[in-house]
A and B are shown apart, each in its own frame.
Chain A
Amino acid sequence: MSITLVKRRVIPGFGLTIGFTLLYMGLVFLIPVGAFLLYTTTMSWEAFWSAVTQRQVVASYKLSFGGSLIAASINLVFGTLVAWVLVRYRFPGKRFVDALVDLPFALPTAVAGIALVTLYASTGWVGQYLDIFGIRVAYTQLGVVLALTYIGLPFVVRTVQPVLEDLETELEEASASLGADRLTTIRHVIFPALFPALLTGYALAFARALGEYGSVVFISGNLPFRTEITPLLIVAKAEQYDYHGAAAIGTVMLVAAFLMLLIINGLQWWASRRHG
C-alpha cells in the first residue's frame, strides 16, 4: 500500500485523467445508455413483449442471428486459412495482402454496401456469372450473409495471426519426431494452441455482424419477412416515430451485445491465462 502511495506521488495527473475519462464516457455513452434502458422500463411488460415478438421482428431475428452465425463460421474457416498463409508461407505481394485485410475495418459501410450490390447484382461483374448457375445473391438472404461475411473478415484473421506467429515450430518438430504425421500434429498441437483465439475471433465476427446495418441494407433489398435484418426494423420504427417499438427491439439487441461482450472478455481472459 505504501509503495503505491509513493508511486502516485511521483507520476502526477491521476485525478485529472481519470476524472476526464469518466466524465467523457459518462456524458457520451454511459448516461445515454442508462437513460435508454430506463426508458424501456417505462413500457408495460405486455407492450414490450408484443413489440419484440411481432412476426416480422421474429423473422428478422432469425435472419440477423442465423446470418451472423453463418457469416462468422465462413470467416472462421477462411480467416484461419488466410492467417495461416500470411504467417507460414511466402508469396509475392504478401505485405500488400496483409494490409488489405483491414479494409472492411476502414472502409465506410455504405461504400462497402453499394460496392457489394453492384458486384453481385445479376448484371454485376460477379453476379452475371453466378446467374448462369441460377445463383442469386443480391436481394436474397445469401446477399445478407455475403455482406456480414465481408464486415467480419478482419476479426478472425487478426486474432489468430499473432498467436500463430508466437507458436514455436519446435513443438511441431517434436511432434513430428515422435512419429506424428502432419495431420495429427495439426490436430493435437496446432489446433489446441489456436483454440481460444479461434473462439474469440468467431465471437468478435459474430458480434460485429449482428449489429451491422450499412453494408447490408443495399444488397438485402429489405423484403419483409425475407431479407429484413433487425437493425433495419429499428431504423424503420424510429422513422415512423414508433419509439416504443424501436426501443423494445433495440433493448433486445443491446442485451445481445452485452452478452457477446461478456463472452468475448471471458474468452480473452481464458486465452491470456492459457497463454501466460
Chain B
Amino acid sequence: MITPSTVIDTNDTIAKRWRRATEEPVWIRITLITIALTFLTLFLVLPLTVVLYGAFEHGIGVWYAAVSDPDALSAIRLTLLIVAIVVPLNTLFGVAAAWSIAKFEFRGKSILISLIDMPFAISPVVVGLIFVILFGSQGWLGPWLSSNDMRIIFAVPGIVIVIAFGTLPFIARELIPLMQQQGKEEEEASLTLGANGWKTFWYVTLPNIKWGLIYGIILCNARAMGEFGAVAVVSGRIRGETNTMPLHIEVLYNEYMFTAAFAVSSLLTGLALVTIAIKSAVEWNDERRQRIAAA
C-alpha cells in the first residue's frame, strides 16, 4: 500500500531526514528486534517445542497409546463433559451481561463491570478452597450434604463450579467493549420497524458480535479445559473418576511417565494454538474492515 509518507520518503531527501528523526538507526533496530525475538524464543517457542517434541519423540504409536490409555480417555471424557456444561452457561452469562451493560444505563454499572473482572484476580487455589470450605466433608454444608447422600467436593459438581467461577469473565469481557462500541441505534431501528426483541437480537445484534463471541467461547473453552489450580483442590484426584486432563498430566509427570504426560499435553497445546490462531484471524478481520471503512 502506498501511503503519503512512503512517497515522500523515496522522492524527497529532506523528508528522509525527518523520518530518521523519528526512527532509530538500523543497528539499534536490529539489536532491539534480536533481543525481543530471543526473549520470546526462550519463553514461548521453546516450551511449545519441548511439549511437541516430548510427545512425538518415540513415534506416533507411543503418542497414540498414551492418549488412548483408559485413564487418559476417562480424563478426556470428563474434561469434555465439564466444558459442555460450563461453556454454554458462561456464554449465556456473557451475552446477558453485555446486553444489560451495553444497551442500558443504570446505577452501579461500573461496579458491576469491576465485579465481573473479579474472578481474574482471585488465585485459582483460593477459588478451590472457597468451595472446599463450603461443601467439603468438614465444611459448612458438608454434614447436610452427606446426610442427603450428595457429593460436591471430590466429585464432578465441585469441578464444574470451580471452573465456571474461574472462566466466568472471558466471554463477557470480549462482548462488553464490542457491544458498547456498536451502540444501540441498529437495534432501535429494528425494533421500531416492528421486529420483536428476540428477532432483533438474532438478526441484528448477533451478526455484529459474531466474531467476538466466537473468540470468547473458544478462549473460555481452552481455559476451562486447562484449569488446574482450582481443580487440584476440589477434585481429590480419583483416577478414572475425577481426574481432568491437566490433573492427569500432573499424575503422569509425577510418575515419571514423561512421554505420556507430553502426549496428553500435546492435545491441550493444539487447542491453545487453535485459540490464538482464531484470535489473530478475528483481529485481522477487524483491521481489514476498519481499513475498508476508513478508505
Our pick among A24, A104, A106, A246 for the contact of B219 (Cβ within 8 Å) is A106
**A29 and B162 alpha carbons, distance in the complex (Å):** 9
Chain B residue contacts of A124, Cβ below 8 A:
50
A132 beta carbon closer than 8 Å to chain B: no
Chain A residue contacts of B225, Cβ below 8 A:
108
Given the known A-B contacts A39-B133, A108-B225, A111-B249, are A95 and B280 also in contact in the complex, defined by CB atoms under 8 Å?
A: yes
Q: Mark B28-60, 1 if CB is under 8 A from A, else 0.
A: 010011011101101111111011001000000
Chain A residue contacts of B40, Cβ below 8 A:
82, 97, 100-101
Going nearest first, the 6 A-B pairs with the smallest beta carbon separation are: A108-B226, A211-B123, A176-B21, A213-B229, A214-B228, A115-B47
**A250 and B133 alpha carbons, distance in the complex (Å):** 11
**Is B276 within 8 A of A102, CB to CB?**
yes
A235-276 interface with B by 8 A CB criterion = 235, 238, 241, 243, 246-247, 250, 253-254, 257-258, 260-261, 264-265
B279 beta carbon closer than 8 Å to chain A: yes
Our pick among A36, A207, A211 for the contact of B125 (Cβ within 8 Å) is A211
Chain A residue contacts of B228, Cβ below 8 A:
108-110, 213-214
> Interface on A for B, CB 8 Å cutoff?
4, 7-8, 10-14, 16-18, 20-21, 24-25, 28-30, 32-33, 35-36, 39, 78, 81-82, 84-86, 88-89, 91, 95, 97-112, 114-116, 118-119, 124-126, 149-150, 153, 169, 172-173, 176-177, 182, 185, 207, 210-214, 218, 231-232, 234-235, 238, 241, 243, 246-247, 250, 253-254, 257-258, 260-261, 264-265
Report the count of interface residues on B (CB-CB < 8 A).
102
Q: Shortest distance in angstroms between A275's beta carbon and chain B's nearest beta carbon? A: 15
Q: Shortest distance in angstroms between A147's beta carbon and chain B's nearest beta carbon? A: 10
Q: Shortest distance in angstroms between A186's beta carbon and chain B's nearest beta carbon? A: 9
**Is A125 within 8 A of B121, CB to CB?**
no
B129 beta carbon closer than 8 Å to chain A: yes
**Is B99 within 8 A of A13, CB to CB?**
yes
B269 beta carbon closer than 8 Å to chain A: yes
Our pick among A105, A213, A238 for the contact of B124 (Cβ within 8 Å) is A213
B72 beta carbon closer than 8 Å to chain A: no
**Is A21 within 8 A of B96, CB to CB?**
yes
**A38 and B132 alpha carbons, distance in the complex (Å):** 14
Q: Shortest distance in angstroms between A122's beta carbon and chain B's nearest beta carbon? A: 15
**A89 and B164 alpha carbons, distance in the complex (Å):** 40
**A82 and B279 alpha carbons, distance in the complex (Å):** 19
Q: Is the interface of B mostly helix, strand, loop or mixed?
A: helix
**A222 and B73 alpha carbons, distance in the complex (Å):** 30
Q: Mark B92-106, 1 if CB is under 8 A from A, else 0.
A: 110111011001111
**Is A103 within 8 A of B232, CB to CB?**
no
> Interface on B for A, CB 8 Å cutoff?
18, 21-24, 29, 32-33, 35-37, 39-40, 42-48, 50-51, 54, 89, 92-93, 95-97, 99-100, 103-106, 112, 114-119, 121-126, 128-134, 136, 138-140, 161, 164-165, 168, 184, 187-188, 191-192, 196-197, 201, 219, 222-223, 225-229, 232-233, 245-247, 249-250, 253, 258, 261-262, 265, 268-269, 271-273, 275-277, 279-280, 284
Our pick among A20, A30, A81, A106 for the contact of B272 (Cβ within 8 Å) is A106
Q: Shortest distance in angstroms between B172's beta carbon and chain A's nearest beta carbon? A: 8
**A12 and B196 alpha carbons, distance in the complex (Å):** 9
Our pick among B117, B136, B261, B273 for the contact of A243 (Cβ within 8 Å) is B136
Q: Is the interface of A mostly helix, strand, loop or mixed?
A: helix
**A84 and B130 alpha carbons, distance in the complex (Å):** 41
**Is B106 within 8 A of A18, CB to CB?**
yes
**A150 and B106 alpha carbons, distance in the complex (Å):** 39
**A258 and B279 alpha carbons, distance in the complex (Å):** 29
Q: Shortest distance in angstroms between A86's beta carbon and chain B's nearest beta carbon? A: 8
**Is A250 within 8 A of B138, CB to CB?**
no
Given the known A-B contacts A84-B32, A115-B47, A172-B21, are A238 and B129 also in contact in the complex, defined by CB atoms under 8 Å?
A: yes
Q: Shortest distance in angstroms between B91's beta carbon and chain A's nearest beta carbon? A: 11
Chain A residue contacts of B201, Cβ below 8 A:
13
Our pick among B45, B103, B112, B233 for the contact of A235 (Cβ within 8 Å) is B233
Chain A residue contacts of B168, Cβ below 8 A:
24-25, 28-29
Chain B residue contacts of A105, Cβ below 8 A:
219
